[in-house]
Amino acid sequence: TVTTPERTLILGGPDDEPELYDLTSDPGERENVWRTPGGEGALLAEQALTLLEGVNTPEEYLAPRRESVDRWRVIGKSA
């Protein structure tokens, strides 16, 4: 989970759709906006993965999250 003042991003495993919440309009985190146009979720996910790589997070934790982002980015484009 990555949280900024405006957004919360939750990354699970490869079969779990990432979750992105707009905390300014949805502080209760009820509406997942991952699939909204603009790709903001994928950008935040890439930044989070880069941060985790930078602190030497083991690959066993990174790989499932990379798979999830890659998979759902493709699904989002075709939806």
Q: Which domains does the chain have, with CATH numbers?
A: 2-78 (3.30.1120)
Q: pTM of the predicted model, to two decimals?
A: 0.78
CA distance 37 to 24: 18
Mind listing the pLDDT tens digit for each residue in 46-73? 899 999 999 999 999 999 988 888 888 7
The rounded percent of the chain whose pLDDT value lies above 90 is 44
Cβ pair 45, 9 in contact under 8 A? yes
Kindly provide the b/e burial profile for residues 54-76, where b requires at least 16 CB atoms within 10 angstroms of the residue's own CB: eeeeeeeeeebbbebbeebbeeb
